[in-house]
């Protein structure tokens, strides 16, 4: 019901303007009853619109530019391009081409890469190619560095905590400010808790590619009820396919403040059904279902972030604010950037959306500048 004041790309405290500077607004915009919400942050997106972040191509940069431009219409103002398990040569070629940058008319901001694998469990590899999986050898952290080539632009690493020597790797990554996520794993609860003690703070797509909840050993899912003092966030693909709405409700009720919506989108997002890629694998898209070709193994999603927000709200019956926070505030807290992104607080970046009551994006703003708007024709 109030005004949002923006100056020089930041959200402004108007008191300073009124009382100290005796100023007023240069430009006024009628938002016509829209909901104004912080821009969405997608911390797990493998590609989209025919672009696959796990394929080393000569024009990788133009691919990442295309995706960052196109996701503005889904309300995403910053993201972590995600690479699935790949041979070292792919990391060595692709990672130097990913640069952390602010968003703008050119597209959503890049917060750093999310490396999902190759240090994951064979039993829960999901759509990751088995021949590229790796374990930690002696000098585990050096091994990881040799595999990836560089950690300069890396923001999140997903690994399986039951692997030998994973504790030292988690400690080293955390020390460098890299978020460690647990996923594609057969870890039991005590292995998962130990990983959290060493600094892991995230769970990659909860319920998918991990042991199902068992009452005698809840596995990674048990981290949702971890005692106070340690915050664990968890990603969920709320597309109506990867997780049953009841599972979404259970997780949300157990730990509402930790839920982070992710798309886990693959190259086929935004394209017609048919065959597409995910790293080294061929993927078959049938409606909203995505499978490794010739199997029934789910592989990423083709859902957009705004669809996930709407589905989450519908499935859980949560408030609009709660649904929006799961795509903005929570991922910002996970990455430790909540002082800049994920809220509409004074002095934070003016990355925000205008949505209608059905939570469809009407316009996207980055640093106070309009970067996308639904045109009058409803295109």
Q: Which positions are catalytic?
A: 264
Give the Å distances, CA to CA, from 219 to 183, 212, 222.
11, 7, 6
- Distance, CA of 339 to CA of 327 (rounded, Å): 16
106 is in an annotated binding site: no
376 is in an annotated binding site: no
Distance of CA 210 to the CA centre of its chain: 18
Pairing of strands 76-84, 113-116: parallel
74 is in an annotated binding site: no
- Distance, CA of 321 to CA of 276 (rounded, Å): 35
What are the contacts of 224-229 at 24+ separation with CB within 8 A? 224/251, 224/254, 224/255, 224/258, 225/254, 225/255, 226/193, 226/196
209 is in an annotated binding site: yes
CB distance 159 to 173 below 8 Å? no
Backbone angles phi, psi at 373, to 5 degrees: -145, 140
3-class DSSP assignment, residue 135? coil
208 is in an annotated binding site: yes
Q: Which two tokens stand for residue 241?
A: 């396919």
- Distance, CA of 227 to CA of 94 (rounded, Å): 39
Q: Which two tokens stand for residue 204?
A: 């990659």
Give the Å distances, CA to CA, from 114 to 106, 144, 306.
21, 14, 21
Question: How large is the greatest C-alpha to C-alpha distance in the chain, in angstroms?
Answer: 67
92 is in an annotated binding site: no
CB distance 5 to 25 below 8 Å? yes
Measured over the CA atoms of residue 137, residue 140, residue 142 and residue 147, the dihedral's sign is: positive
101 is in an annotated binding site: no
95 is in an annotated binding site: no
CB distance 81 to 45 below 8 Å? yes
3-class DSSP assignment, residue 355? strand
CB distance 325 to 338 below 8 Å? no
330 is in an annotated binding site: no
- Distance, CA of 184 to CA of 205 (rounded, Å): 9
Annotated binding-site residues for substrate read 127, 208-209, 216, 242, 298-300
Annotated binding-site residues for Zn(2+) read 116, 184, 205
Annotated binding-site residues read 116, 127, 184, 205, 208-209, 216, 242, 298-300
């Amino acid at each position: 019901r109030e005004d949002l004041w923006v100056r020089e790309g930041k959200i402004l405290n108007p008191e300073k303007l009124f009382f100290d500077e005796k100023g007023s607004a240069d430009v006024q915009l009628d938002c016509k009853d829209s909901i104004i919400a912080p821009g969405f942050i997608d911390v797990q997106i493998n590609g989209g619109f025919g672009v696959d972040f796990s394929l080393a191509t000569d024009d990788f940069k133009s691919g990442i530019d295309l995706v960052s431009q196109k996701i503005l219409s889904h309300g995403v103002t910053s993201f972590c391009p995600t690479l699935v398990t790949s041979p070292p040569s792919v990391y060595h070629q692709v990672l130097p081409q990913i640069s952390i940058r602010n968003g703008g008319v050119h597209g959503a901001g890049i917060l750093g890469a999310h490396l999902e694998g190759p240090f994951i469990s064979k039993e829960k590899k999901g759509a990751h190619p088995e021949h590229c999986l790796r374990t930690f050898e002696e000098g585990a952290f050096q091994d990881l560095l040799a595999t990836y080539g560089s950690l300069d632009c890396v923001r999140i690493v997903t690994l399986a905590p039951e692997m030998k020597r994973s504790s030292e790797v988690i400690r080293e990554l955390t020390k460098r400010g890299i978020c460690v996520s647990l996923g594609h794993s057969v870890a039991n609860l005590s292995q998962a808790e130990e990983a959290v003690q060493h600094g892991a703070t995230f769970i990659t797509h909860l319920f998918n590619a991990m042991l199902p909840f068992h009452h005698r050993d809840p596995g990674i899912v048990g981290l949702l009820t971890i005692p106070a003092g340690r915050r664990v966030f968890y990603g969920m693909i709320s597309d109506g396919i990867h997780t049953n709405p009841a599972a979404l409700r259970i997780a949300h009720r157990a730990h509402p403040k930790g839920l982070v919506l992710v798309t886990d989108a693959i190259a086929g997002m935004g394209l017609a059904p048919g065959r597409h890629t995910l790293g080294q694998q061929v993927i078959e898209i049938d409606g909203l279902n995505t499978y490794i070709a010739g199997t029934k193994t789910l592989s990423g999603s083709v859902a957009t972030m705004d669809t996930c927000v709407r589905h989450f709200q519908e499935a859980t019956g949560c408030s609009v604010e709660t649904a929006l926070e799961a795509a903005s505030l929570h991922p910002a807290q996970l990455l430790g950037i909540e002082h800049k992104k994920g809220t509409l607080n004074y002095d934070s970046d003016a990355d925000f959306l205008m949505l209608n009551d059905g939570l469809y994006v009407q316009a996207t703003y980055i640093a106070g500048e309009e970067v996308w708007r639904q045109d009058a024709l409803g295109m």
